[in-house]
Structure 1
Amino acid sequence: MNLIFLAIIIGEIAFWIFLVSELLLRYVWGLNKLSIILLASTPLIDIFLLIITFIDLSNGTKPHFFHGLSATYIGFSITYGHKTIKWADQWAAYKWASGERPEKKKLHGKEKVKYQWREFSRFFVCAVIILTLVGIAFFIVPFEDTFWLIYWVVNIIGTVIIWLVFGPVKSILNNK
């Protein structure tokens, strides 16, 4: 099995173990300080994956699909991790602490357009993080070995354009 792919799997499993443990510590066992320490430790997962990826590339490994996937995982984790944690926390508060049931609001009109722009902006930041990490890899490996890095650059830029068209632009056109 590929080392980077294995590191991504370990990172994802660790994230969910940290998150579930944090929620159990807070809402079931009432250990708030310990839960905060565990929650504050989740960025260590991204640092672990970043170090493994750049060590692998620095040791002369030719970049492959999983190096770009690693950058993508880190970008999404940084950008969407807080939102995922907040979502899980709301549900845990509802299930275990008599909190209010989280509701998904149906958005219309200008509210939907604002939401689409906010989500696009969040993804744009994610894309910048991914492209920065992939860009750093270009300085580590010889140019002739950059096929997969170029693949990820094209993929991410294409995704930004598609999201822009089918997110904010579409919601603006549908709002008229």
Structure 2
Amino acid sequence: MLVGLIVACEVAFWVLLAAGLIARYPLRRPRLGAALLLAVPVVDLVLLVATMIDLRAGGTATFAHGLAAAYLGFSVAFGHGLVRWTDERFAYRFAGGPPPRRAPRYGMARARHEWREWGKGMLGWAIACAVLLAGIALVGDADRSQELWAWLARLSLAMGAWLVFWPLADTVFPKRPPGGSGGVGIVERS
């Protein structure tokens, strides 16, 4: 049941996002669009309450409970940015807005971008871990909360891998534009 709710919450997130942007731009109803976009976080609240009720009712924590905590944490951390990213593209396409910003692709600007994204990931990790620890405390039984402990380890491992393969890698080995130095440390003289 919980996996179905997670899927329903993900679908509801995208439906509310699309409805809010359609109301805001093609239908030119900015207040309705804003109300629909403000309803997006309610989806996370529904998932949190349902997860905690299930655990409080004496259920044994499953993979789905950990997935719900991860979904919640990363949805809170990345949700606002995703809404902004989508809004920029909708405004450009349907309301004559400016071209959307693109993430830097090369050099230290790219590394800074990756550090910011990893920082958001760490916020998501912290929220997910807080929810997992609250679930562990709520269950109050080591045998029934084993899967939640496993999710703490999974999320920590994932964040460690993300750190090594993106922000650290882009800092130590910055990507250079094709066919040039990208202005990194080279001065041309005529």
The answer to whether structure 1 residue 96 and structure 2 residue 94 are counterparts is: yes
Which residue pairs with 1:44 in the alignment? 42
> Displacement of 1:101 after TM fit?
3.2
Against the structure 1 CA distance between its residues 105 and 9, is the aligned structure 2 distance closer, same or farther, given a 3 Å change threshold?
Answer: closer
SS at match of 1:49: helix
Which residue pairs with 2:110 in the alignment? 112
> Aligned letter for 1:148?
E
Which residue pairs with 1:67 in the alignment? 65
CA distance in 2, matches of 1:88, 1:172: 28
Which residue pairs with 1:170 in the alignment? 169
TM-score under structure 1 normalisation?
0.93
Deviant stretches of 4+, over 4 Å: none
| Structure 1 unmatched ranges of 5 or more | none
> Aligned letter for 1:168?
P
Deviation string, structure 1 residues 119-173 (Cα, Å, up to 9, x no partner): 1111111100010000101111111112211110110110111111112211122
Choose between structure 1 and 2: higher helix proportion.
1
Contact residue 74 and residue 124 of structure 2 kept, 8 A: yes
RMSD across aligned positions (CA): 1.4
> Displacement of 1:108 after TM fit?
2.0
CA distance in 1, matches of 2:127, 2:163: 17
SS at match of 2:173: helix
Against the structure 1 CA distance between its residues 69 and 105, is the aligned structure 2 distance closer, same or farther, given a 3 Å change threshold?
Answer: closer
Matches within 5 A, 1:93-172: 93-141=91-139, 142-172=141-171
CA distance in 2, matches of 1:115, 1:106: 7
Q: 2:32 aligns with which of 6, 14, 34?
A: 34
> Aligned letter for 2:86?
A
> Displacement of 1:103 after TM fit?
4.9
SS at match of 1:61: coil
- Percentage identity across paired residues of the two chains: 30
| Structure 2 unmatched ranges of 5 or more | 175-183, 185-190
Contact residue 20 and residue 37 of structure 2 kept, 8 A: yes
TM-score under structure 2 normalisation?
0.87
Contact residue 103 and residue 113 of structure 2 kept, 8 A: no
> Displacement of 1:109 after TM fit?
1.9
SS at match of 2:49: helix
Against the structure 1 CA distance between its residues 105 and 117, is the aligned structure 2 distance closer, same or farther, given a 3 Å change threshold?
Answer: closer
Which entry has the higher C-alpha Rg, 1 or 2? 2
